[in-house]
Amino acid sequence: PQLTATKAGRHLVREKGTYLVLRELHRWEREPDVLAACEKLIQVLIGDEPGPGMENLLEVDVPEEVEQELQRLDREEEERWRREQEEQRQEARGSTPCPEEPSR
């Protein structure tokens, strides 16, 4: 991500075909932090180039409330991913949780 902070860095990373490598990594990677980093980097690579004055993303001021909202969304996404992984592990073991029996 540091390399993609500048316009020249983003251009270089795109030019080298990094997106294709990241796409394949994202298909088989299971570590939440690695997946999150891949997704963020892919968004930078496929997104529109920032407007004037925002060429260096490390120098962009992000309002406090926006930063807090982004952090909250990151936490929610990580929790969703962890729940999905746990469900997949349970299904693979054949031990999906049984629904409770109805009360009589």
Contact 36, 82 (CB under 8 A): no
Alpha carbon distances (Å) from 13 to 54, 57, 95, 98 = 18, 15, 44, 48
Taking only the tens place, the pLDDT of each residue in 35-58 is 888 888 888 888 877 777 766 676
Task: Identify the residue whose tokens are 């997949």.
Answer: 88
pLDDT at 52: 75
pLDDT of residue 101: 55
pTM of this prediction?
A: 0.54
Average pLDDT for the chain: 79
Can you give the pLDDT at residue 88? 80
List of the chain residues with pLDDT < 70: 1, 54-56, 58-60, 95-104
